[in-house]
Structure formats: structure tokens, C-alpha cells
Amino acid sequence: MSAAWTNIATSAHSLLERLPLLARDFTTDWLPESARWLANSLITIATVVVAFASLFALLTIVERKVLARVQNRPGPNRVGIPFTKIKLFGLGQPLADGIKMLTKEDIVPRAADQVLHFLAPVALLAFSILTFAVIPFGRQLVPLELDAGVLYFFAAGAATELAVFMAGWASHNKYSLLAAMRALAQLISYELPLLLSIVPVVMLAGSLSTVGIVEKQAGWTWGFVPHWHVFTPWGAAGFAIFFVAALAESNRSPFDRPEAESELIAGHLTEYSGFKYALFFMAEYFGMCALCGMGVTLFLGGWQAPLPFLEIIPSYFWFAAKLLTLLFVFMWIRATLPRLRIDQLTRLAWKFLVPLALINLGVAVFWALTADWTGAIRAIRWIVAGALIVGPFVLIGRKLSSGIAPRTYRYAT
Amino acid sequence: MLGSGLLQGLAVTAKNLVGSFHDPARLTTVEYPEQRTKLPEAYRNFPFLVSENATDPMGTLRCVACQICEKECPPQCIYIEKSKDKKPDATGRPQLYPTVFDIDTSVCMSCQICVEVCPFDAIKMDQVFEIATTDRFTALLLDREQLAKPNDYYHTIHPTEAAEVDARLAAERKAAAEKAAAAAAKAAAAKPAAVAGLGEAGAPGSSTPATTKPPAA
Amino acid sequence: MTAVLILIAVATLCTAAVAMALRNLIHSALLLIASWTGIAAFYLWAGAEFVAFAQVLIYVGAISMVVLFAVLLTRQSRADVAIAPGSLGRVVLALIAGGAVLGVLVGAVLSTKFANSSATTPTVTVKQIGQSLGGAHAAALLVIGVLLTVALLGAVVLATTDRAEKEDA
Amino acid sequence: MGLSVQFLWLIPALPLLAAGIGSIAPSRDRTLASGTAIAALALSFLLSCGALLTALANPADHATHNFAWFELGHGAVRLGWLLDPLTALMCIMVTFVGLLIFIFSTGYLRADARFKQFFCFLSLFAAAMLGLLIANSLLLLFICWELVGLASYLLIGFWFHKPAAAAAAKKAFITTRIGDLGLLLGMVWLYDSTGSLLFYDGGNGVLEPSVLAALGGSTAIGLLIFCGAVGKSGQFPLHVWLPDAMEGPTPVSALIHAATMVAAGVFLMARVFPLLTPDALTVIALTGAITALMGALIAVAQNDIKRILAFSTVSQLGYMMLAIGVGSWTTAIFHLLTHACFKALLFLGAGSVIHAAHHEQDIRQLGGLRGPMKTTFATFAIGMMALSGVPFIFSGFWSKEAILHAAHAWDVSQLPLYLGLAAVVLTAFYMTRLMAEVFFGAARSDAAGHAQENPPTMTVPLGLLAVCAVGLGFLGTPYWPWLQHTLDPLAHVEAGGYGLMMVSIVLVALGLGSGWAIYGRKSRVKSSAADPLAVRAPSVFAFLAARMKFDELYAATFGRLNHGLAVFADALDRHLWDGAVRFFSRLGEFAGVVNRETDEGALNGGFDATSEGLRKRAHSYSRAQTGDAHGYLLMVAFGFVVLVFAVLLGGAR
Amino acid sequence: MNLAPLQLCLLFSSALFCIGLIGALSRSNTILVLLGIELMLNAANLNFIAFWRYGANSEPATGVMFVIFAIAVAAAEAAVGLALVITIYRHQKNIRLQDATRLKG
């Protein structure tokens, strides 16, 4: 009886697990063998783009809702189904925004570099979408399995900087240009800790392939502690650094200096309106999703379930859950922290994150060298590795925050 | 340690986020067009003309077309035309009345000077703010009919002030009535019977004989 | 396969040539970046995946930024942009020199009989690259690391303005 | 507990580490700098003791540990460590004396602002010196040799704000460089003829019989190597830098310019002794003898306490070279060890005096220090007697005696013996003079009058060194030549020769007696009074006081030659090459003029254009070297094309 | 004309090299000259990969290693070269290569 149930559960589970692949194969089954590859690729691309475009739409409204709730407001709740009184908690808002953006006049300054002005948002969006190619969304659900997947991800991500520059320069507006340069300085500064923080993962996993890295994180210690990288000292530190750097790389608060409305009149986006602006916006969210997806893949076990019995839930669900959690933390942080000044921002990168990432590299080396320590001695391994991270963190942190004190006012009280 | 402040901040925002769902006291937002809050009494915006009652606003305007407000208005947004004839006012004395009283609210700056200078408490500040229209020219030029609002409305928006005004007007009328009574008593020496009847009729709202002079004069 | 190669080659060469001919520096730089991307595509075509990504990461991600910053930091006045006297001659000379070199190279390539290689594509995994970087080429890797560090420091030193100098100016 | 040869590198590595730590330590942290330096050297001392134990287990063995440094062509440049009794004893001497001097320095330089740098340099020196000692390759030895020279330069010029110190540092560096050139040439020659620079390499080392037998022209190689030793050990004629080096802080003089570095030359000769042919040895013996006598003579007429000791050092080094020259390198090392102790003692004593007397170094200004500085006086007296060779108790007697015996037994010539005996008298004489002037009589200046005994950090090392200065001699007496046999089990030490010993004792007594007669009996009263010797033989004394005019001689010969060459080269540059350049430019100019004249003469526009083009082209030729990067690149491109064609055409033929 | 793929690759790299050369020779802007040189470097890298792909090589990773190191060196070169450009600009207020004929001054 129970065996039969187990069988049914297993087959149902495997069916669910392979559902996306089965659906794809079903769709392209009738095609000749040679065309099937192309069709499969197209379907994959379309699925990813559509999925993330809808996620983007959802995120815009969810973000506004979260921000509103943090500020004790209900948030956008008016737009529902048009021409009816059904409001649906305002879920029609993204659609309305989209229509508004599409129908707005596309203003291009006369002195602007027309071609580049057009190319900038397109390039940004294209590169952002490219980064999704190597993220494993589930078991066997990776659009492009590359041997050097991580490298590909960061190569494609690095190219987005170019688009920022193009936008700033093509606008022929000195504020835009200055803002673009500042944005570039920020992006380049944080590229370093971002890359350094993933080196331990690559080192310990012994692979540059995203699929391989996720597979390395399978299994549980004592049956309930997953082998995710974030549950090691170096992994936790690496994830923290990666997370902060990802915040900065995706121009999210508190590092949203490149787009700061109040200081830079929206930076390199000043001269953009309408659909191009929407493209920029979309690319930002895509970049954020891609970075979060990479964080999930590298540190949070990718599509692995957190507990053994939860494996019956399909892997792509777990990936989505982790991704959404990370995105929620992004919003939460945006709702909490004020924007950093440019000097504080670069100081944080160069004087705090980079040294810490380098130390973390050393800790990872220590971890790798002591891989054969078992039994009680493992506690020592943990204590040493933890101390090697926490100590520098406290020391560098003290150095970083020294000299920062509540502001004193001479003439006002 | 570095980061403790960040965590405290995150805790505060998380508390707010969660609290906004289960603690209705936190959500202070008013769903505006459906729900409205009562505006504070001190809020004032654009003048209106006070009429004594709502049934015949044009007939019971307090305004006597003295044109002081028109002269004092800094942006010159008031336009008044006097009537040719006279009608009895609240105290019963015959007064002029405005045949045209226009305020261009696209020019008006809600400075309240017209209210300050009006000797008859005939123009008061309103609380309207939903003044958006689709017509730039005529819709914002309010005429006599649009401006006239009953004294009860005045009581609903500025109750304290309205009470004061009413008390003052009542006192004036009483004084006017007493004066009239005194004058009637003097006249009663000559014609006592007729004046006694008129003195009874000197209550607010009723008309006064055309022979009596305004108290201010 | 060859068609793809020709496509890549033509695209790369065209962008490079146009970049070299343009007056607008920013356009030149951006076109060159496109050209570098084309080269990365060539590496991808040849099966050197890792190198292709490294090329994109370094050329498109890093060097391009340095170039663009340099261009913006050295904005010139209109007079400087104008063609310098005698530059036509230089262009002609350059074309002659380039043509001569091209002729020699093409002649050499066409006249050489290359040993026929095996038809199989050599494959190199990232693991292999990592192993030879850490093994046989470890010394070279270290030297490169030192070189990069020194170059970075040198670049910083070169590009930094002396505070005292600034005050003088 | 022995130290095996693989770990020999630890001995120099520890001071090097201390130098590294010292260089990055904050300058104000004095204890850290001195503490690490002293601790590192103390550890090195212990390790050296371990190394000695290992070496003594089999004294005849030359334990080596060789490794390839880098590949060069088909061969590899190989370096290595060498452990034998010579290395071990030298290491112990260097670390022991160095340790005491380090401790002394903490007191001597207490008030100096660059205290940390001083210890950093000292540690660097110690590391280089120890590296030199353990080297099993002439190349490694040379590298350390140069490092030692660098440390010496840094330390002599430590008070670089004094012009004299800066000049002395330069002089020391350049003078020793002359010798080092010889060493380098010798090394290259040696490598060329044997293909190896390793001393011992399991039968293939340059010092091993099979290679020596095959080696030709080794006299020249030996002499070239000796050039290095001449420079470093201050032998005639390159001794001029050593007295000037006394401008450095006194501990430096004690460590580098008395005990260790200057002995490196002697050590080098002892090390490569098997390479030296009889002809080379003769030259070495004569050089040593001349140096010994010359140094002693000049020392007689000096007034600066450190200069007297410096010339004494020159003289004693001469003795050691003499010993090597007469074929007894073990006695040379014996004297080296004893000399290191008592000369370090004397220098530290001098340092103690100078420190107490507020940096007054002129013996005429001192005097009467016997009373206030009892410890210094006693230890200095022991050092003086050891140096003078007072019989039987003091180590200097035994080592000097051994050298004289060896010289006596030399069958080529007796001249070195006679010169050495003359130096014995003079040594005793000038040391007596020094003692009498400094410690006896009355104080002749305020500085000397107010002198106080120094703190224990300075006096304890003096005491320890004094013990060594006495005791070390008994390791190599003719009756129990342990040291000689340990160094070289085949060494032959004559036990006899009491006649020579008697002569030597008499000569020492003569020196002491005459010194006391002239200076001690009637001590100097005023600092400005003339020297008694100067009164008796003014011209000789003046000549000696001017250090035999060596500096003047060099200035007059080499300096002038150098200047002349420079002037000549300048003139060549100015007139000949520049003239040629100008000539060609004139020629070009002339061609242009002719061109223009022709052009103007011919009323043809075509000619006009041609000459204009020519002129422009000429101008562009003249611009070929103007730094135009385009032009260079263009040339490279065309050059490439031309080269390819050349290769193609050549290939076709 | 029947060309082997290797020859095609080599022709491609030759052409790229010459474009870089012509650019470096003909442009007066120092940045463009540097970029031309960078292109020439890339052409060399192309050759490495081409020979790695089609040549009769014994070690599988040699060509790739070469290119990786060459890219690293190119990065260093670009950084230093452009820093020099900025220095030149600071000095002579333009970046015409013809004007930068002196090392000092």
C-alpha cells in the first residue's frame, strides 16, 4: 500500500520536476530533427524573457506595495480591471504604467547622438537578458550549459557598464555625462568585491560552471543542514560581500546614486523618457534578478531544496522561492537605508569590501586545506575560520566607521 | 560593531511592514475620493457670498454692492455692478444689491483682504479645493449664483467664526431695533400707537420701515 | 562553418576599419569595442570558450572603460580636432605602409603550405586551463600578477596630479 | 644537538628576518627593533653552536647541500651551503661578537633618532656576513660579499649629515669595488675554466683535487680572487678606506671594520686556499707582510683613538694574510678568531671611552680615565695586552706566535718573518702609547674630566669579550693545537722553536718598555703639547701622521689620471664627435645651399619644386630622431617588409 | 580560390593587423594610436588561437594559455598607455602624438 503511494508520489514528483522540459519537447515534437534545436532554443529564450518580464511587472507593483507598507501606507490599490470597479489590490498598475510609458512622447534632445541615444537602452537590456543564459532555474533547467558559465555571466554583466556610458554620453548633457562617469566609477568599484567574493566559491567547488556549482551544494549534514555555501564561514562572508556588491551593481538603494533624482536629476537617465526610459527600468530589474539568481546559484544552493523531505516540491519552485526572497530583501533594504554619499560609497568598496573579500579568499584556502579534518577537530576548523573572518570584519569595520559621528551643528540646536 | 545600526534599522522597517497588516491604527491613509476627513476650521480658500437662506439666495445676499472689496482686492479679481433699485437688507433697511458679482478664481490668491474689509460680513472664505475644471476661461470665473452660499454652510465650515458673526449681527440688529424703538418712542410722543406696532416687528429677518436710517450712519 | 568565420571576420574588420577612420573619438572607441566583441566571437567560433569570455570581460568590461575615461578626460578643443597640417601625407604613408605589410603577410600566408592538421577540434576545458595555470604556467601567472600590479600602480602614479603641483597651477 | 647542513640557511635567515621586521616596524618602537635583532642573532648563535657540533663529529668532511638556482641554457647556476669546521667556527665568532656588539649598541646609540634603522642595517649586515660564511658557491659568496659591502656603506654613512662620514662611506664603497672587480673577473675566469663555482660538489667542486688537477692558469685566478680580499680586508695598497671608515658609529667599527667584515677577505683566502699556487702565495705573503709593517708604522703616529685601532687592524690583517701566504691558513684563522675578540674588545672599549667623553676621540684631549672608568680600563688593558702579544696568558700571543713560526718555516723567503717581527715591536709600542695617553696622567679636557662609567649594557659585553680575549688563545697553543687540527686535520704544527718565541717575547718587552719610557713615565700635561716622537724625528712622524701620504699619492696619480681621462673624453665628445656631427650637418646645410643656389640660378619652376621637395625631405630626415612615434612605427613597418623581402631573397638563394 | 580554414583565419588576422597599423600610423590622436596598437595585439592573439585550433600542436592548452597571458599584458599596457596619455594631455593640453616628441620639458 505505502509502496504504491511512494511510487505514485515519485512518478508525480518526477513528472512535475520535468514538466517544463516535457512541455517544450511536446511543442517541438512535430518538427524535423534539425529544426528542433533551434525551436527549443527559441522557446527557452521566449520563456525566460516572458517569465522575467512578467516578474518585472510584478516586482514594480510589489516593490511599491512593500515600500508603502513599510511607511504605513496601503500602496497602489486603484488600478484593477479597466471599466469595472474591480480593483484586484491594484494589480493592474504595471499594465497601466506600461501603457503610459508606451504612449508617451519619445523625446530626443536635438544635440544628442541619435544612434547612441537609441542604442544605449537596447544594449543595456540585451546584455541584461544575456546574463540569464547560464542561470540554472531548476534541475536540468539551464538555458545554456557552459563550462565557464560564471565567467560568461560576469563578462556579459560587465558589458552593461558600456550602456550606462553610452546613455550618459549620447544625451549631450553635462549632468548626464558626469552622472554616467560617477555611475561607472561606482560600477567598476563594486565589480571588484563582487568578483572577489565569488572566487572562493569557484575555488572550493572546483568549477566555473553554474550547474556544477549547484550540484556541489547537494546533500545535507546530519540530515537537515544543507550543504549550501552560505552555511560555511567563508560562504557566509562571501555571500554578504556579494550581496552588498550586488546592491551596488544593480544601482539599488542605498547605492542608487547613479539614478538619484534629488541629487543628479536621475543621472544618465535625464534625457530619457517614454519607452526608452521603461527599457532602462526593465534592464535594471533584469540585472537585479540576474544578480540575485547568481547569488542563489552560487551561495544558496541554487534549486536545491532546503530539507530532504521538501524535495517533492519541484526544483524550479525552490529556485523561484529563493530568488523572490532575495528580491524581497532588496526591497526591504531599499525601504530602510538612506542613500550613501559618493565618497562613503567608494570608501566602502575599496577600504572595506575588497580587503574583506581578499581575507575571505584566505579563509577559503584555509577551509580547502583543512577539508580532511573530521570529528571534534572540525569545531576548531570552524572556530579558526570564523575568527579569521569576524576579527578583520570588526577591525576594518571599526576603522571604516571611525571618524563617523552624529553631525554637530554650530549655530543650530 | 559595524552593521548593528543597519540591523536595527531593518528591524524597525520590518516591524512597520508587518504591523501595517495587523494593526489598523498604523494605516493612517484616507482613501480620498471615497473617504474624506473634515478640514480644519482654520483652512480657508477662495471667497464666497453669504446669503441668509438657501431657498432664495439671490434675494437674501448680505452684500450691498459697496464695492470696497473690489477696490481693495490686490489682484483685482472682483467685478461688481450695482443695482439701480434698492431692496431691504437683513436689518430691514433698503440697500443696493449687486446685479453682477464675479470673482475670477484663476486670479484670486485667497488673501482674505475682501473678507477683512467687508463691513457687512457679506463675503467669507470658503474651503473648496477641488476646483479643477476642463475649461480654462469661463469655468474659473465664478458669478453671483455660483458664489452665493447660505449662512448654514458658513456654519458648517467655520462654526466658531460663524457664531461670532451671527452674534455680532444679532447685537447690531438688537441695537438697531432699540434705536428704532427709541426713535419710535420719541415719535410716539407724536404718534404713539403706530410706532408701538412697528417696534414689535423689529425682529431679525423681518423688514424694517424705510424711514429708519442705518445705525452706522 | 567557414561562412560563419567569414561573417565574423567581415564584421570585425569593418568595425575596426571604420573605427580607425572616424573623427568622433567616442564612436571610434565604441566601434572598436564592437570589433573586440567580434574577436571574442571568433574565439568562440574556434572553440576557445574561456578565452572568448576573458576577452569580453577584459576588453569590453575593463579596457573599454579605461579608454572611454581617457577620451573624456582629454577632451580637446575644436581646433585640435581639425586635421593637423600635413596629415594627408601621413595618411597616404600609413596606407602605403599598411598595404605593404598586408601584401607581405597575405603573400606569406597564401604561399605557405601548412601541415594538414587533424580534423578534430582540440578541446580545452576550464579545468585544464586552471590546472596548467596553477601547474606548468604558475610562474608565468605570478609574473603576470606582479606585472599587472606594477602596471596598475604605475598608471595611478602617472595619472595622479601632484597636490603641490596643482596648487602651483 | 647538531644542525644538519640542509638547515644551515636558517643562520643567515634569522637576522634577515629581523632586518625585514625592523624595516617595517614603526621608528619610535626602539625595543622592537633592537629586541628582534638581538633575539634573532642569539638564535643564530645557538644554531651556529649546533652547526659546530655537527661539524666536529667529522672535521675532515665538507658537508654540502647544493641546489639549482635557475636554468641557464643547458646548465643550471647552482648554489649551496657548506658546513665544515671553518664555517661553523666563523659563524660562532660572528654571531657571538655580533651579539655582544648589538647589546653594546643599545647603550651606545640610545639617544640616536635613527636607532631603528641602525639595528635594521646591523641585522642586514649580520645576515649577509653569515650568508657569506655558509656559501658553498663562489657566486653566492660574491652576492653576500657585495651585500656586506652595501651594509658597510650604509653603516659608515649612518651619520650621513656629517660630510666626513658620507665621504668615508663613498670611499669605502668605491675602494672595495676595485678589489671586487678583480674577484668578479677571477670568478668568471674560474667558471670559464671549470664550469662550476661550487666549492665542494662530490668531486666536481672547484676545490676538489680532480678539478684542481685539471685547472690551468690558477695563479692568475688566485691573484684575482686575492684582489677582492685586498679590497675588503684593507691590504696594501687598498687599505686607505679602512681608517676613514671609522667615521661610522663605534659599534660598527668594532663589528664590521675590526672583527668580521674585514676578516672576510682572510676567510675567502682560507676558503679557496687549495686554489692558490705557490706563486700566488708568495705575492700574498709579501703583501701581508708589507701591510703588517705599514699599518703598525702609521698607527704609531696617529692621534685619533679609533684611527690607531684601525691601522692596528690593517696591520693585524696583514699578519693573517702573511700566514695564508706562508701556507698556514689554519693559523690565519686562529689569529682571525683571537683578533676578532680582542679587537672588538678594544673598539668597544674605545666606544665606551668615546661615549663617556662626549664623543671626544683625540687621545691628546683624553687622559686620566683609569680612575673613573675602572671596568673599561681593565678590559681595555686586557685587550691591549692581547694585541701586543704579552706572553702566555693572552690569546694574541699564541696566535701571533703561530704565525711567526709558520713564517719561519716558510722555505721561500725569510723577509716576511723579519717584517712581522718589526711589526711586533711597533704594535706593542703604539698600544702602550695609546694606553698611556688615554688612561694615565691627568684629564686634559672637560669632556675627559667629566667621564663616567657606562651602563651595564655596555660594560657587560666588554667583560665577556675580555674573557674570550684571554681564553681563546689556549685553543691553539703549540702544545695542544686543537683548533688547527680541527680546521685541517692534516695541518702540521711545529711544537718547537722556543728560540723564536724568546725573540718575540723580547721584542714585545722592548716595545712595551720603550712605549712606557716615552709616554708613560712622563705623561702629557697639555693637549696641545707636541708628541715626544714628533720632537725627536719631526719629518718621519709627520710622514707617518699623514698616513704615508697614500691618499695624496692616489689623488695625484689615479685621481689625476681619472680627471685627465674625463677631460679627454669630454674633449673627444665636444670636439671630435660633435665636430663630426656638425660636419655632417654642415654638409647637409651645404647641400641645401647648393641646391638653393642651383635652383635660383635655374629659372625653372620644376627645379624649384624639386628642390623644395628635397628640402622638405631633408627636413623630414632630420626629424627622423625627433621622437615622433608615428615615424618610428612607420619605420618599423617598412623595416618589417624589407626584412621579409631580404629573408625571402636570401632563402631563394 | 580554395582556402583552408587556417589560411582564412590568418588572412583575417593579417587584415586586422594592417588595419591597426594603418590606424596607428595615420591618426594623430594618441588614444587612437594606442587603440591601433591594441588591435595589432589582438591580431596576434587571433593567430595564436588559429594555430591552436588548426595547427599540429601537441599540448592542448598552449595557444589558449598564450592568449590569456597576452590579454593580461594588453590590459596592463592599456592602463599604463592611457595613464601616459593623460599625463601628456596635462602637459601639453592636447594629445596630438606629433606634439609629444620630447620625453621631458
User: Is residue D78 classed as helix, strand or coil in its secondary structure?
Assistant: strand
58-77 in A: which are within 8 Å (CB) of B?
66, 69-74
Q: Which residues of D touch E101 (CB under 8 A)?
A: 626-628
Residue whose C-alpha is closest to residue D289's, from D407, D429, D412, D410: D407
Q: Do C97 and E22 touch (CB under 8 A)?
A: yes
> With an 8 Å Cβ cutoff, is B193 touching chain A?
no
Contacts of C124 in chain E (CB under 8 A): 60-61, 64
Q: Is E59 helix (H, G, I), strand (E, B) or coil?
A: coil
CA distance D6 to chain C (A): 25
Note whether C159 contacts E: Cβ–Cβ < 8 A: yes
Check CB contact under 8 Å for C93 and D645.
no
Q: Point out the residue among C93, C94, C101 whose CB comes nearest to the CB of D641.
A: C101
**Percent of chain D topping pLDDT 70:** 93
User: Closest Cα of chain A to B36: distance in Å?
Assistant: 16
Please give the distance of CA A54 from its chain centroid, rounded to a whole number. Answer: 16
Which residue in chain A is spatially nearest to B17 when comparing CA positions?
A70
C-alpha to C-alpha distance for A369 and E6, rounded to whole angstroms = 45
Instruction: Report the pLDDT value the prediction gives residue B203, as an integer from 0 to 100.
Output: 46
- Min Cα separation D21/chain C (Å): 22
The C-alpha angle with vertex B8 and arms to B6 and B13, in degrees rounded to 5, equals 95
Res. B117 pLDDT band, cuts 50 70 90: very high
Q: Which residues of D touch E98 (CB under 8 A)?
A: 628, 630
Residue D510: all three cell numbers together = 722592548
Q: Which residue of C42, C83, C152 is the best one to mutate when testing the E interface, meaning the one whose CB has the most E CBs within 10 A?
A: C42
Lowest mean pLDDT across A65-79, A364-378, B72-86:
A364-378
Count the domains in chain C.
Answer: 1
CATH class of the B47-158 domain in this structure: alpha beta
**Which pLDDT score is estimated for D540?**
75
More confident: D343 or D546: D343
Task: Please indicate if any CB of chain A lies within 8 Å of the CB of B8.
Answer: no
The mean per-residue pLDDT over the stretch A139-153 comes to 86
> What is the predicted pLDDT for the residue at A360?
92
Q: Can you say how many angstroms the Cα of residue D598 is from the centroid of all Cα atoms in its chain?
A: 71
D68 Cβ neighbours under 8 A, 6+ residues apart: D76, D77, D78
Q: Do chains E and B touch (3 or more CB pairs under 8 A)?
A: no
Is C114 within 8 Å of E27 when comparing Cβ atoms?
no
The pLDDT value recorded for residue A407 is 65
pLDDT band at B211 (very low <50, low <70, confident <90, very high): very low
Contact yes or no for B118/B64 (Cβ under 8 A): no
Does A69 contact B17 at a Cβ distance shorter than 8 Å? yes
From A152's Cα to the closest Cα of chain C, the distance in A is 6
Closest CA to D11 of D143, D131, D168, D145: D131
CA–CA min distance E97, chain D (Å): 7
Cα distance between residue D162 and residue D159, in whole Å: 6
Whether B contacts C, i.e. 3 or more CB pairs less than 8 A apart, is: no
Supply the DSSP string of D270-321, one letter for each residue: HHTGGG--HHHHHHHHHHHHHHHHHHHHHHHT--BHHHHHHHHHHHHHHHHH
C16 near A CB under 8 A? no
Q: Which CATH class is domain E5-92?
A: mainly alpha
pLDDT surpasses 60 at D633? yes
Give residue D491's pLDDT. 65
Q: If you measure CA to CA, which chain C residue comes closest to E70?
A: C144
User: Considering only CB atoms, which chain D residues are within 8 Å of C87?
Assistant: none
Mean pLDDT confidence for D178-188:
87
Spatial neighbors of D289 by CB under 8 A, at least 6 apart, are D318, D322, D325, D407, D415, D416, D419, D420
Residue C121, pLDDT score: 66
Domain that holds residue C160: 2-83+124-168
Domain boundaries, chain B: 47-158
Q: Is B2 within 8 Å of A69 when comparing Cβ atoms?
A: no
E neighbour chains, 3+ CB pairs within 8 Å: C, D
C98 domain residue, yes or no: no
Between CA D362 and CA D527 the distance in angstroms is 9
Q: Mind telling me how many Å the CA of C123 is from chain E's nearest CA?
A: 7
- % of chain B at pLDDT higher than 70: 86
Q: What is the DSSP letter of D137?
A: B
Q: Which residues of C touch A159 (CB under 8 A)?
A: 56, 60-61
Partners of residue A74 in chain B, C-beta under 8 Å:
27, 29, 31
Residue D172 main-chain phi, psi, to 5 deg: -60, -45
Pick D608 or B112 by higher pLDDT. Answer: B112
What does the domain layout of chain A look like in residue ranges? 104-337
With cut-offs at 50, 70 and 90, classify the pLDDT of residue C118.
Answer: low
Predicted local distance difference test score (pLDDT) of residue C35: 92
Binary contact (B26, A337; C-beta < 8 A): no
The answer to whether residue B132 neighbours chain A at the CB level (below 8 Å) is no
Neighbours of chain D (3+ CB pairs under 8 A): C, E
- The minimal CB distance from C74 to the residues E14, E75, E89 is found for E89
Neighbouring chains of A at 3+ CB pairs under 8 Å are: B, C
Question: CB contacts < 8 Å between A and C, how many?
Answer: 62
Mean pLDDT of chain A: 85
- For the entire predicted model, the pTM comes to 0.58
Does residue A393 sit at the B interface (CB-CB below 8 Å)? yes
How close B134 comes to chain A (CA, Å)?
A: 21
pLDDT tens-digit readout, E31-71 = 888 889 899 999 999 988 888 888 766 566 778 888 888 99
C51 touching A (Cβ < 8 Å):
no
Q: Which of A93-97, A117-121, A350-354, D580-584 has the lowest mean pLDDT?
A: D580-584
Whether residue C60 and residue A155 make contact (CB cut-off 8 A), yes or no, is yes
The CA–CA distances, whole Å, from E54 to C46, C106, E40, E51 equal 9, 18, 21, 5
B25 inside 8 A of chain A by CB: no
Residue D251 preceded by cis peptide, ω within 30: no
User: Side chain identity at A281, as an amino acid letter?
Assistant: F
Is residue C148 within 8 A of residue E76, CB to CB? The reply is yes
Confidence of residue D626 (pLDDT cuts 50, 70, 90): low
Q: Which residues of E touch C34 (CB under 8 A)?
A: none
pLDDT at B195 over 60: no
Contact status of A402 with chain B (Cβ, < 8 Å): no
d(C-alpha D124, C-alpha D127), whole Å: 5
Residue-range domain boundaries for chain E: 5-92
Are A158 and C62 an interchain contact pair (Cβ–Cβ within 8 Å)? yes
Residue D625, chain E, CB below 8 Å: the answer is: no
The alpha carbon torsion through C22, C26, C29, C31 (nearest 10 deg) reads -60
Q: Is residue C54 part of a domain?
A: yes
D633 contacts on E by Cβ (under 8 Å): 21, 24-25
CATH number at residue C164: 1.20.120.1200
Contacts of E89 in chain C (CB under 8 A): 73-74
Q: How far is the C-alpha of D128 from the C-alpha of D113, rounded, in Å?
A: 25
Cβ C93–D641 below 8 Å, yes or no? no
Segment D596-624 shows an average pLDDT of: 69
Do D and B count as touching (3 or more CB pairs closer than 8 A)?
A: no
List the end-to-end C-alpha distance of chain E, in Å, as a whole number: 56
Q: Predicted confidence band at D301 (pLDDT cuts at 50, 70, 90)?
A: confident
pLDDT, average across residues D342-352: 87
Q: What is the rounded distance in angstroms from the CA atom of residue A170 to the CA atom of residue A162? A: 12
- Within a domain: residue C93? no
Of residues E25, E102, E103, nearest to D630 (C-beta): E25
Q: Give the residue on E whose Cα is nearest the Cα of D623.
A: E101
CB < 8 Å to E25, chain D:
630, 633-634, 637
Are C94 and D645 an interchain contact pair (Cβ–Cβ within 8 Å)? no
pLDDT tens digits, A13-27 = 778 778 888 888 888
B2–A66 CB contact, under 8 Å: no
- Segment (H or E) for D77: strand D75-83
